Each structure stands twice: as C-alpha cells, then as structure tokens.
Amino acid sequence: MATPDKMKSVTVQTTDSLLIELASGKSYLVSLAEPMASVPGFDALRDPAMFATAQVTDWGWALQWECGLSMASERLYQMGKEQSGEAYPVAEFRAWMERNCMSLSTLSAALGLSRRAVSQYSSGARPIPRVVGLALLGLERARG
C-alpha cells in the first residue's frame, strides 16, 4: 500500500465535498458529509461559507478551516481511497470482525497477514487494500 502523500491543493466542490490533489498528481473527491453530520467538532463546517475556507497548511500535511478545525492529510487520503473504491472501509472491516467474532490474531492467521497489519487496518492507521475486503467476503462465505 502506498504511503499517504502530502496535499498540493484543495478545491471545494459542493457544500460537503472537496477535491484533494496530492503532490504525486493523484486526486480524490472526498465527501465530509458523514463527519459533518455525526461529529460534534465538525458542526461549524455545516455553514457553506465556513466550509469554503478550506486551505492546505503545514506544508501539505494538513487541511484547515478558518474556524480552527483541521484534518491530517493521512485521514483525507484514507477517506479518498475508501470513497473511490480503492480501499475497503474501516467501519466495515471492524463490523466484519465483530460479526464473525474474530480477534486481531485470529484474523491475521486466517488472512496470512501479520497481526500488526490487521491492527493497523482495524485502527484506521493504514488504508485497507481492496483485496483484503474481498478476502473477508470469501472467509465469511466459507464459514457459512
């Protein structure tokens, strides 16, 4: 999995989505609708004028709004990969583990991955490759 890239620019697309361009040239359309609806700290961004103040800061490693709210480039990168279908969503990964009563150790053995990798996927520290999501579907089907 590629290391998160720093941001080159951000362009507001709608009242809850941003086009993030990375230094590598890759771009992602990232919707912030979910955190804006459910995370109290994101309340200020429901104001379209405030949402439109998004700026790249910290030499490309963060995004900040005039209200003081900021997001790390790593989280935006992960959200972009999940929303574009390039990565399996962390929430679905955690729900799968719970539904199938799998610990980090059990799942790492079943997938043939290190426990550390599975832990990083579960915590959101690393984007989850699509192939891992497909493997989860296969494991669930095989378990019956």
Domain ranges of the chain: 7-84, 87-143
Report how far residue 44's alpha carbon sits from residue 47's, in angstroms, rounded to the nearest whole number: 6
Write down the CATH superfamily of domain 87-143: lambda repressor-like DNA-binding domains (1.10.260.40)
Residue 144 has pLDDT above 80, yes or no: no
Average pLDDT over the chain reads: 91
pLDDT digits (tens, 9 = 90+) for 53-63: 999 999 999 99
The model carries a pTM of 0.75
Report how far residue 138's alpha carbon sits from residue 110's, in angstroms, rounded to the nearest whole number: 11
Give the pLDDT band of residue 127 (cuts 50, 70, 90).
confident
pLDDT value, residue 143: 82
Please state the rounded mean pLDDT for residues 44-59: 96
Please state the rounded mean pLDDT for residues 22-41: 92
Q: Quick one: CATH architecture of 7-84?
A: 2-Layer Sandwich (3.30)
pLDDT value, residue 3: 55
In 68-129, which residue ranges form alpha helices assigned H by DSSP? 73-84, 90-99, 104-111, 115-123
For residues 93 and 135, the answer to whether their CB atoms sit within 8 Å is no
pLDDT digits (tens, 9 = 90+) for 53-109: 999 999 999 999 999 999 999 889 889 988 988 889 988 999 999 999 999 999 999
